[in-house]
Amino acid sequence: MKTAMIAIAALALPLPALAQAQVPAAGTMIETAPLPAERGLVDAASAFSILYSSTDGVTGAGNVPVSGALFIPKGTPPKGGWPVVAWAHGTVGIGDDCAPSRNARSQRDATYLNGWLREGYAVVATDYQGLGTPGPHPYLNTRAEAYSVLDSVRAVLGAKLGLANKVLIVGQSQGAGAGFATAGYAQAYAPRVNLLGTVATGVPYLNGTLPQPSDIDSVDRTIAYLMYIGEAAQEVDPALKADAVFTPEALPLVAESAKRCVGDMMGAVVKAGLTRRKTLSGDFAARYAPYLRGTGYATVHISTPVFIGTGEKDVDVPPLMQKALVRDACKAGTPIQFHLYKGLDHSGALNPSFADSRVFARSLLEGKPVASNCGSPDAAE
């Protein structure tokens, strides 16, 4: 491991020089450094911050630097190297200071990722394009997320770190959407990545639209997501002004969303007493249609198996939305293993799902078939 890291360091470009030079080909490791202990995971033998190149997923052309982290398991690697979990994180915010590699992992995520490390997987965790690196973060843009995930895998595999080209995509919430999208882009964009399967919990199915709440007069913390979309859309396309949709009462928080991370942002929404009626003055979906088109999936036909875990009490990503994706993906021929977690919400279902997803992943790693339950009562609308 030490020898490999020295070899990478010799190839690294200092960040000031990188800003002036052309970013290297997508999927290239640019720079690594030890990750501060407070940002590490207790079940990792070593942890690194990484900077690598990826294709700009907004334009589909040109390369951008993307940051992230890499965690190596404890113990002796199996013959051929550690298999890889590519972790796609949930919503943390849209400002650079919210990037996961710049912060300690939440207790929920740390528990979950430590579980994968104990199972014997290295974990590469992208921050996504524009989150922790120059340029806007195109929040929920599935192509940008997919390229960031796939190029993080290509970068760590190409860096000769003792990792095996046996890859599982794992994501929660925003990251579940990223994971599903990644599986759809993998064959065409990164055919040399040996993708075994995908684990997605709390997966959105936006298709260019947004779920409509039944109550627009209750204080709603998920309005934070709308504000992130509004601010990110305006950063990507300055013509998409937030004041065309958001009320004067809500606009100050929209402006602050560029710097407020998700917990703080949701707290601010609740403290301000914002409801949907108090927040929106126009048709949000119609106004942001050009931006929301980027939140859909290029395909719902995935050739490799997909595990989808849904909390029965999920408010952030309604179960009916998740079941609609299961239905459409099953119809398209995707092998889906669906699990509904009774009584659990969006965040609460993540760690309980691990008991099932670890078995799903182990079967794929060992070349065993995994059962699809398309058409099961739980998966039906």
How far is residue 203's CA from residue 323's CA, in Å, rounded to a whole number? Answer: 9
Per-residue pLDDT reduced to its tens digit, 200-220: 999 999 977 787 888 999 999
Q: Is the pLDDT of residue 229 over 90?
A: yes
**pLDDT of res. 1:** 34
How far is residue 288's CA from residue 242's CA, in Å, rounded to a whole number? Answer: 10
Q: Is 72 helix (H, G, I), strand (E, B) or coil?
A: strand
pTM above 0.95, yes or no: no
**pLDDT of res. 280:** 96
Of residues 379 and 66, more confidently modeled: 66
Query: What Å distances lie between residue 370 and 81, 94, 261, 272, 306, CA to CA?
Result: 23, 36, 38, 47, 10
Handedness of CA 149, 341, 276, 321 (dihedral sign): positive
**pLDDT of res. 135:** 87
Per-residue pLDDT reduced to its tens digit, 281-326: 989 999 999 999 999 999 999 999 999 999 999 999 999 999 999 9
**pLDDT of res. 7:** 32
Residues of the chain with CATH 3.40.50.1820: 2-206+296-379
How far is residue 377's CA from residue 381's CA, in Å, rounded to a whole number? Answer: 8
Q: CA angle, corner 18, sides to 13 and 21, nearest 5?
A: 115
- CATH for 2-206+296-379 is 3.40.50.1820
How far is residue 171's CA from residue 91's CA, in Å, rounded to a whole number? Answer: 11
Per-residue pLDDT reduced to its tens digit, 22-77: 899 999 999 999 999 999 999 999 999 999 999 999 999 999 999 999 999 999 99
How far is residue 265's CA from residue 293's CA, in Å, rounded to a whole number? Answer: 25
